[in-house]
Amino acid sequence: MTSGNPFEIAQRQLDDCARILDLDPGVHAILRQPMREMHLALPVRMDDGSVQVFPAYRVQYNDAKGPTKGGIRFHPEETIDTVRALAAWMTWKCALLDLPLGGGKGGVICNPKSLSRNELERLSRAYARAFAPFIGPDVDVPAPDVYTNPQIMAWMMDEYSKVLHKNAFGVLTGKPLCVGGSAGRGDATARGGLITIREAAGILGLDLSRARIAIQGYGNAGYYAAALARSEFGSTIVAVSDSRGGVYHPTGIDPDVALAHKQATGSVAGLPGAQPIANGDLLELDVDVLIPAALEQVITGENAGRVKARILAELANGPTTPEADEILDANGVHVIPDFLCNAGGVTVSYFEMVQNNAMFYWEESEVHQRLDQRMTLAYHRVLEAAQRYGVTMRQAAYAVAVSTVAEAMQLRGWV
């Protein structure tokens, strides 16, 4: 059995890929560990005058293909191994989408829900100030992640600009539009995921206009996945959930009504007219498409055999353990692996970098068209590799991504 350590899971997945590719041992050894990581302590003055110190991390996993790229999480249960794993997955994600970027990730151990707006701003600026020597448009470009948002990115960009004594909009992505953000960034993760679902449905002969969908996690990605599946495909959203509980309705849930209820009460739980459902039970519903859009390791060797969906689309990072993968594959579940399914966010973040560098910004329709093109191509590259090697979609995604990074390392003379 695999431990619950996310970085050990990421390493195990890489080891599996190395066997498939017969990877050079030197390349394999380098890719098993982060290239560079920083552990810093952020002292922050709280509203009551006291000082609290927050542990903070930044991992730059591999930059063979370009500057590292990855989000910053504010979470009370953040760990360095989670950050390492996410940085590794970002490396493969960027390579899979053929972006000229490596993978990175950051995190702060804090509970942002307990911080005032002023405390949150001071913490955000402290992170940007402390990590300023280690980030930048040509080095490492952070972005929003769990419990961070465009406003936090704006504060960080402003603080970094103060350190450099010049405007540096390109240091972060996921910014508000008026300070260098990109149109189409808000729903990019979900939109990219739905493009891969569309392609998978075409391969499987699934009519998405008649499809029933369940979504675990109703944050940014989960909400937009529900809204876009309904508006773009005509699918029926039968269940949604968040950390406090979930709701089920066999004839469908209106995503906007569920969002309004969550904004008013703090949770989708208790949505009028819908039945309560536990997060674990949601994963086992008789649906066509299951979208885990919350946190890691929710589908395990214990419950994978009860997953009934034809398509499992991983909008979350690392929602499925290796033991669960084996069971899902044996049961014929078509898994769209996380670093393919949720790559829309980093792809549009890359588009934001391009626009920042050019000081010329695209219309939203152009962003959508370019995203569709890249996600569609990436899905079919993975599908072709799965058929060529006779492996699962996750193993195929690793094979495509790792071989791309390995080639860059070898051409640069690293091994």
Q: Is residue 221, in this structure, part of any structural domain at all? A: yes
- Tell whether the model's pLDDT for residue 65 goes beyond 70: yes
Across 295-407, the runs of DSSP E, i.e. the strands, are 311-313, 334-336
Check residue 1 and give its pLDDT.
Answer: 40
Catalytic: which of 105, 162, 166, 262?
105
Name the pLDDT band for 96 (thresholds 50, 70, 90).
Answer: very high
Mean pLDDT value of segment 115-134: 98
Residues 268 and 325 grouped into a single domain: yes
Residue 92, in any domain of the structure: yes
CA distances from residue 69 to 28, 103, 124, 306, 357 in whole angstroms, order as listed: 21, 5, 18, 36, 15
Over residues 389-414, mean pLDDT: 96
Residue with tokens 């004839």: 251
Over the stretch 322-365, which tens digit does the pLDDT of each residue have? 899 999 999 999 999 999 999 999 999 999 999 999 999 999 99
As a whole number of angstroms, the distance between CA 317 and CA 339 comes to 7
Residue tagged 């609290």 (tokens): 52
Question: Do residues 193 and 152 share a domain?
Answer: no
**Residue 327 and residue 240 share a domain:** yes
Q: What integer pLDDT is reported at residue 76 of this predicted model? A: 96
Q: What is the DSSP annotation of 23-63? A: --HHHHHHHTS-SEEEEEEEEEE-TTS-EEEEEEEEEEEE-
Summarize pLDDT for 241-292 with one digit per residue, the tens: 998 999 999 999 999 999 999 999 999 999 999 999 999 999 999 999 999 9
The rounded distance, in Å, linking the Cα atoms of 303 and 72 is 30
pLDDT for position 296: 79
- Are 280 and 248 members of one domain? yes
Q: What is the mean pLDDT of residues 69-96?
A: 96
pTM (2 decimals)?
0.93
Question: For residue range 29-39, what is the model confidence (pLDDT) as tens digits?
Answer: 999 999 999 99
Please write the tens of the pLDDT for every residue from 6-61: 899 899 999 999 999 999 999 999 999 999 999 999 999 999 999 999 999 999 99
**What is residue 3's predicted lDDT score, i.e. its pLDDT?**
57
Domain count for the chain, please give it.
2
Q: Is 113 designated active site?
A: no
CATH of the domain at 310: 3.40.50.720
Residue 380: in which H helix or E strand, if any? helix 364-389
Residue 201 belongs to some domain of the structure: yes
The letter for the amino acid at 271 is L
Task: Flag whether 363 is in a domain.
Answer: no
47: domain CATH number is: 3.40.50.10860
Provide the domain limits for residue 304: 188-341
